[in-house]
Chain A
Amino acid sequence: MSAATTRTEGLHVAVLNGGSSLEREVSLASGSRVTTALESKGHRVTRLDVDAGLVTHLDDLDVDVAFLALHGSTGEDGTIQSLLDLVGIPHTGPNGLSSALAWDKPVAQGLYRRAGLVVPDHVVLSQAAFRDLGAAAAVSRVGDLLGFPLVVKPAAGGSSLGLTIVGDPAHLPSAIMGAFSYNDRVLIEQFVPGPEVAVTLVDGGTLPPVEISPRDGPYDFSARYTPGATEFHAPSRLSDAANAAAEDAARRACDALGAHHIARVDMILADNETPTILEVDTGPGLTATSLVPLAAQAAGLAFPDLCHRLVELALARAGRDEPAA
Chain B
Amino acid sequence: MRLDTDPYLQHYADRVGGLSASAIRALFAVASRPEVVSFAGGMPDTSALDFDAVTEVVARVLAEDGPTALQYGIGQGRPELREQLVGVMAHEGVPAHLDDLVVTAGGQQGLELTAKCFINPGDIVLAEGPTYVGGLGALTSHRADVRHVPMDADGMQVEVLAERLQELARDGRRPKFVYTIPNHHNPAGVSLSVPRRHRMVELAEEHDLVILEDNPYGLIDFAGETRVSLRELAPERVVYVSTMSKTFAPGVRTGWIAAPAPIRDKIILLREAADLCPAHFTQMVVERWLATQPWQAQVERFRATYQHRAEVMLDALATHMPPGVTWNAPGGGLFVWVSVGDGIDTSDLLAKAVQHRVAYVPGDGFYADGSGRSHLRLNFSYPPPERIREGIERLAALITDERELARAVYGDDVPAAGDVDAARPSGSDSSTPRTTGRIDMPAVVAREASS
Q: A residues bordering B, Cβ < 8 Å?
A: 20-26, 28, 51, 127, 130-131, 135-137, 139, 159-168, 171, 173-178, 180-182, 210, 216-218, 220-222, 224-235, 288-289, 294, 297-298
Contact = CB atoms under 8 A, between A and B. Distances in A.
A231 to B, nearest CB: 7
Interface residue SS majority, chain A? mixed
30 contacts: A24-B29, A24-B33, A25-B26, A26-B26, A135-B408, A136-B410, A139-B409, A159-B23, A164-B429, A167-B425, A167-B427, A173-B409, A177-B345, A177-B410, A181-B352, A220-B23, A220-B427, A221-B22, A221-B429, A222-B21, A222-B23, A224-B21, A226-B19, A227-B5, A228-B5, A233-B1, A234-B3, A235-B1, A297-B3, A298-B1
A204 B104 CA distance: 58
Interface string B5-26: 1101100000000011111011
Given A20-B354, A177-B410, 12 more contacts: A22-B26, A28-B29, A160-B429, A163-B428, A163-B429, A174-B345, A174-B420, A178-B428, A222-B430, A225-B21, A230-B5, A234-B1
B22 to A, nearest CB: 6
Interface string B418-451: 0010011111111100000000000000000000
Given A131-B404, A136-B411, A174-B423, A22 B27 contact: yes
A175 B427 CA distance: 11
Interface in B364-408: 404-406, 408
A57 to B, nearest CB: 16
Which 8 pairs across A and B sit closest by C-beta, in order of nearness?
A: A228-B6, A227-B6, A225-B21, A25-B29, A130-B408, A226-B20, A171-B425, A221-B23
Interface residues of B, number: 49
B23 A174 contact: no
B427 A177 contact: no
Contact of A164 (B22, B415, B427): B427
A237 to B, nearest CB: 9
A139 B405 CA distance: 14
Interface string B37-79: 0000000000000000000000000000000000000000000
A224 B21 CA distance: 8
Interface of B: 1-6, 8-9, 19-23, 25-27, 29-30, 33, 35-36, 343, 345, 348-352, 354-355, 404-406, 408-411, 413, 415, 420, 423-431
A181 B428 contact: no
Given A136-B408, A178-B348, A228-B5, A24 B428 contact: no
Nearest to B29: A25
Contact of A174 (B26, B405, B424): B424
Contacts of A294: 3, 5
A139 B350 CA distance: 25
Contacts of A224: 21
A220 B2 contact: no
A218 B427 CA distance: 6
B29 A137 contact: no
Contacts of B8: 228
Nearest to A136: B411
Contacts of A233: 1-3
B3 A210 contact: yes
A23 B405 CA distance: 24
